[in-house]
Amino acid sequence: MGLRLRLRLPHKSSPRTPSYLLLCVLALSFFSFTALLLYKVDDFVAQTKTLAGHNLEPTPWHIFPRKSFNEATKHSQAYRILQCSYFSCPYNAVVQPTSLLPDSGSGRPTHQPQCPDFFRWIHRDLEPWAKTGVTKEHVKRAKANAAFRVLILSGKLYVDLYYACVQSRMMFTIWGILQLLNKYPGMVPDVDMMFDCMDKPIINQTEHQSFPVPLFRYCTNEAHLDIPFPDWSFWGWSETNLRPWEEEFGDIKQGSRRRSWESKQPRAYWKGNPDVVSPIRLELMKCNHSRLWGAQIMRQDWAEEAKGGFEQSRLSNQCNHRYKIYAEGYAWSVSLKYILSCGSMTLIISPEYEDFFSRGLLPKENYWPVSPTDLCRSIRYAVDWGNANPSDAEKIGKRGQEYMESISMNRIYDYMFHLISEYSKLQKFKPEKPASANEVCAGSLLCFAEQKERELLERSKVVASSLDQPCKLPDEDRNRLERLIQQKRKTIENVRNMEMTRTERGSR
């Protein structure tokens, strides 16, 4: 007996059972990589700060509600942030510096008109750094109170964002600087500037006397060193439906002609928001009595006005009174330029703050000074004086309107140009782009703008011209400015004395 062993060898042609293990591994790897990539992109997007306010907290020195955005989904927002921040500025060659000196062969005009006299304040504003210059340490310390940093390098604009600005202030301010570069290509020097976009000046002169900090903002006063810069509303204010300055001024001037001086209401008029932590506006509300104080004071409901697109607040429809009142808000107010534009005699309640152009105003020349002490009585005196001297009152109003007409966008860009140029001369270092700063161009800024914002921005866009030449900056003349300041104080004091004399006579 024997055992027969039979070996079964596999057939070479027999098919092997398929394995999905490799496919599963590949798929898992792909999805893991995609998830990681999306996580990294989301993380990157969450750290990307934008001109529209993405990923920015409100300024800690002036808290306001965070901005909400209209993107439908988180992914659409991420796409927008990436597209606008990193893929909207085309490559442009470095703009070669152009000399400011006129050259008859360059195509630029050989004659430069003289800048308005208030440009002399540029020298005064920058005087704290005249001896020491502006160092890197100056700029570093200014960052503590800045919402954003602006660098101009070889004709390109870079912005480093620290905090959000209320509404669209930052976007429109940056747009204005872009238009300056477009207007004067190759002429704006390299510069490194810190900006705050809230209302009140913050660099106290006494506290910073030993080491003044250069910070740009929209207003200043004698107690502070903040450097005034043209405010955002010259390029439009989308939240209040205000158009670019020259459009708005033209409309207001046209509206001021609908009535002759004689047919205008012989009262003082103010319409605005008193609920902005403004003691003077709250006091002004008490003067709303046409017979007693000769004033019509109207509270503006911003929420209701916004619902109607501010159609009931069109500035061109508010020039029907012989006298218009300017009262500061939380600090300085953009309303000053629109009030002066009406051609009514502007009653300015003794202001605590100044913007870049208001320092050129002269009492009894292009406005009438009103005392915050015994406010209603001071308004009454101004109205009675104007009605007793209608020709003089009309001339004061007309000169105020003419003054604002002289503040054209060309002059505004010239002021920006000279302010930046003079500041850059003080720099003791070569400006360099920080890693956290991004280039900003018209394309990237408009990419972030909402529809209404975009419409206003595009209407204020500058068409570059090789013929554009800034006006000539007046020489520094401290004595001239001091004489002007003393003259203004004396005129205001004379008006106060006139008021007091009348009050004393009335009390007898």
Between the alpha carbon of residue 371 and those of residues 347, 357, 390, 394, 434, the distances in Å are 10, 21, 21, 21, 48
The H or E element that residue 409 is part of is helix 409-426
Residue of 172, 303, 299, 298 lying closest to 242 (CA atoms): 172
Between the alpha carbon of residue 344 and those of residues 266, 359, 410, 505, the distances in Å are 10, 19, 25, 29
pLDDT at 5: 43
| Cα 141 to Cα 213: distance, rounded to the nearest angstrom | 7
> pLDDT below 70 — which residues of the chain?
1-20, 25, 28-44, 71-72, 92-110, 465-466, 506-508
| Cα 380 to Cα 361: distance, rounded to the nearest angstrom | 22
| Cα 351 to Cα 328: distance, rounded to the nearest angstrom | 7
pLDDT at 455: 97
| Cα 114 to Cα 94: distance, rounded to the nearest angstrom | 30
Between the alpha carbon of residue 438 and those of residues 44, 56, 75, the distances in Å are 14, 15, 22
pLDDT tens digits along 432-470? 999 999 999 999 999 999 999 999 999 999 977 667 799
Q: Is 266 helix (H, G, I), strand (E, B) or coil?
A: strand
pLDDT at 2: 46
Q: Whole-prediction pTM value? A: 0.89
